[in-house]
Structure 1
Amino acid sequence: MKAAIISTLRHNVGDDFVREGIVGLLQETLARERPGSALELDVIHKHSPVTTVYGLERIRSLRLSRLIEPVARALRLPDRIGRADLLVQSGAPIYWCHENGSRCERNEWFDPLVRGRFLSDRRGRRFFNLAGGSCQRYHSDASEMGQFPDTLAYMAEFFDACDLTTLRDVHAQRMLKAAGRDAEVLPCTSIYARDQLRIEPETGDYIVLNFMENGGHFTFGQTIDKERWRDNFRRIHALTSRMGRVVAACHSPAERDLVREVVPDIEAFIVPDDHVEFMRFYAHARFGIVNRVHAGFMLASFGKPVAVIGTDTRALMIANLGLPSYFVEDVTDAEAIVEQTAAREAGYREEIEHIRTLTRARYIELLAEAL
């Protein structure tokens, strides 16, 4: 079976974690349902949709992609979607709408890749939307959805185009229900990336912290005191340093430079765009307190308890692993967060293995039914 996966490449290790998990689940499902059937993979970098065309993989500019992709489509140049038996949207925020004009129906990939290439030439082929999530203000209750009819129409169209949709946070489900549709919420597939790459949990050597300005990628107009979060992070660092070695996980050089503005002497781990090395790093952790939600998911997948402190509803997905999230402005007791996370160090591995076992069975059941 040939599968084309809409994801990112050399862009965000979190996307790599999610995709590795999906590939592993698909392979396991095929092995059970279609013995002898191999999975052939092609990855499309969604931020440059022209990468679906063979020979144009190196074009990373969205501006160039928007110029070249329609021409390539009109010329019917061989492409990954055209040759695929299965199209997969690999877990990411898929539902969002904000007053600043940022809305999911305006994304760069759905129209050229799904409408333009897949739905116009479906041929009975399958389309899976796996581990989709939301990206709203942290305390959103989804009541704002009524203000965005175009967003709701797009969400319904996207859902109706798919043979299987799974979601990774309850807020995404609330948003989808506002569009008159519903899908099951399951833990993000990133918890299976370590199985796909055969990386095992190791004895904990250090505590992992992760720092982002304001606590996340976006503020979405929420009142967030940057200096207050910096002070809280310094407090978290001081508290965890009393417990042992502390290392900051930095997904980019800019993130490393930023955390060292806040805590100049902090040890940092950085291997940009190498998700395998990041996974090996997380495998050796004790526990973590992080802003990046997929740093949290990878830690948890190895049985390392974590608290996620964030700014938007992506952080809520950690609840599916029995772990807490906090809105950055709601953090008033850093000591309690540290102590409660550390207290689960000895027992969390058993908890996550139970979750992983049940969730794996459900994913495989759904995939088998939809293939």
Structure 2
Amino acid sequence: MGDTDTMRTGLITTVNTNIGDDLIREGICSVLREVFRGHEIEFVLVNKHQPLSVFPEQHPMHLAKMTRYLPKGRYHADRLIARLASRLGPSRLDSCDLVVQCGAPVLWPGCHRCEWAEPIWNQVIGRLWKRIPVLNLAAGACYPWERQPARVDDPDDARYLRTILGYCCLTTVRDALAQSLCASLGTQTPLIPCSAFLATRQRVACGGTDGIVVINYMRGAGHYDWGQEIDPARWENMVKALLGRLKNRHRLAFLCHSEEEYLLAQGLDPTLPRLWPKTAQEYSTLVSEASVGLCNRVHGAVALAGLGVPCVAVGTDTRLLMVDAIGLPYWYVKKASVDELEHTIEDLLTHRSQARERLLGLRSKAWKQYVEAVADAIR
């Protein structure tokens, strides 16, 4: 740090997409506030999906935006401008005391082609990492459920991942696949639950066995089909049938992370309330009466678990392993059935008190692991 007590911290993150990214980031920010207790922290957010946001508005690097108008050769022109212009002035991260990559998938098929690889990792972090500590926290793997790799086979992906792992003085992972793939690349990483687990650390949901069963629904049960021939209609009909069974015995509500999910929920059952939190604080308030959950968004399941609410997750890819890391049930959507999901939800309700205590204990353990790992890395 400089002469003041202000800790300027750059966060490579996703902004204004859905609350899942906010929950990841808030969990990390809470850890950093604890590690740097006694110091003021200024967070500098860099939206990786707008990677040129890493540079000030007047920086020549923004000329790269003009390549979108080229009829061809845009990729190579963009990389050339990135290499040249990035040297003509400092980035917004140059004045930081610490840089943190905030969760989300880091390993996936074709990850070396991500839009932030060149401007953020290669041009900025590659220049700064020897003088500014870089942390990669809650990194995850995202591969098709039916094609889980034992190693990173794409040589370009492997080269990219070895590079960014080498830049980071600490990488923590949120799932076992990410841990094994990092090990295959030569980097040993601690496995700690996703930081979204800590986003609402000061709160606990109060719903008992008569609380609300919250349902988070996505079309096709996930972001991508991954060529696995997932039938969205089958999943939709399964959820409708499940709702029909559960609403006779329990209070139900939809938990939505996006406008699309909010509208889809209306089509599934217009009689049920729809919750659409916009902030981490709203999240914990709106789900305060939840007893258990069924989630397609794994961050929904993890954040609910952080409030002591056990969930079952249904998805399409290895992000489900985040849920496995906190000891909760999950189903690959093609293997799920109405009977199995109903039984799982009822079982979670029956043993809710024990699950709640276990999850809150795990939350305390994860908090301690993150705080100690970060403190040790920057010492």
Which of residues 127, 131, 143 in structure 2 aligns to 1:136?
143
Paired residue for 2:238? Answer: 232
Which string of whole-angstrom CA distances, capped at 9 and with x for unpartnered residues, describes residues 241-293 of structure 1?
A: 1232211112222212223333343321224x434322322233111001011
Separation in structure 2 between the aligned mates of residue 140 and residue 56 of structure 1, nearest angstrom: 44
- Secondary structure class of the residue paired with 2:343: helix
Matching of residue 113 in structure 1 with residue 126 in structure 2: no
One-letter code of the match for 1:279?
A: S
Which residue pairs with 2:94 in the alignment? 82
Residue number in structure 1 paired with 2:305: 300
Instruction: Compute the displacement of 1:212 (Å).
Output: 0.8
Cα offset, 1:10, TM superposition? 1.4
Does residue 7 of structure 1 match 2:9? no
> Are the structure 2 counterparts of residues 251 and 151 from structure 1 closer, same or farther at C-alpha, using a change threshold of 3 Å?
same
2:91 is aligned with what amino acid?
D
Residue deviations 1:200-254, cap 9 Å, x none? Answer: 4334542100111111000101121222211211122123212322111122222
Residue matched to 1:310? 315
Mark the CA change 1:41 to 1:329 in structure 2 (over 3 Å): closer, same or farther: same
Of stretches 206-215 and 132-141 in structure 1, the one that deviates more from structure 2 is 132-141
Q: Which sits farther off after the overlay, 260-269 or 352-361? A: 260-269
Q: Do the aligned partners of 1:208 and 1:287 also contact (CA within 8 Å) in 2? A: yes
Larger mean Cα displacement after TM superposition, 42-51 or 243-252: 243-252
Contact kept? 2:151, 2:184, Cα under 8 Å: no
Counterpart contact for 2:129–2:167, Cα < 8 Å: no
Q: Contact 2:203/2:307 (CA < 8 Å) preserved in 1? A: no
Q: Distance in 2 between matches of 1:56 and 1:211?
A: 42
TM-score by length of 2: 0.86
Structure 1 residue 72: Cα displacement: 6.4
Q: Gaps (5+ residues) in structure 1? A: 98-102
- Of the three residues 152, 158, 165, the one matched with 1:152 is 158
Task: Spell out the pairing of 1:1-371 with structure 2 (5 A cutoff).
Answer: 1-31=7-37, 36-55=38-57, 70=82, 73-76=86-89, 79-97=91-109, 103-143=110-150, 145-146=152-153, 148-195=154-201, 198-203=202-207, 205-271=211-277, 273-332=278-337, 333-371=340-378
C-alpha contact 2:46 2:53 (8 A) present in aligned 1: yes
Q: Which moved more, 1:247-256 or 1:114-123?
A: 114-123
**Matches of 1:300 and 1:211, distance apart in 2:** 17
Residue 65 of structure 1 deviates from its aligned partner by 9.8
Relative to 1, partners in 2 of residues 1:288 and 1:92: Cα closer, same or farther, differing over 3 Å?
A: same
Cα distance in structure 2, aligned partners of 1:104 and 1:223: 23
Equivalent residue of 1:194, what SS? Answer: coil
Q: For residues 274-333 of structure 1, what are the alpha-carbon distances to aligned partners after superposition, in whole Å with 9 as ceiling and x for unaligned? A: 343223222331110010111111111111110000000001111122101110010122
Percentage of identical aligned residues: 30
Residues 341/140 of structure 1: CA separation in 2 closer, same or farther (3 Å cut): farther
Between the two proteins, the alignment pairs up a number of residues equal to: 354
Tell me the SS of whatever aligns to 2:27: helix
SS at match of 2:199: helix
Change over 3 Å in CA distance of 1:134–1:261 after alignment to 2: same
Conservation of the 8 A alpha-carbon contact between 2:23 and 2:280? yes
Q: TM-score, with normalisation over the residues of structure 1? A: 0.88
Coordinate RMSD, CA, aligned: 2.5
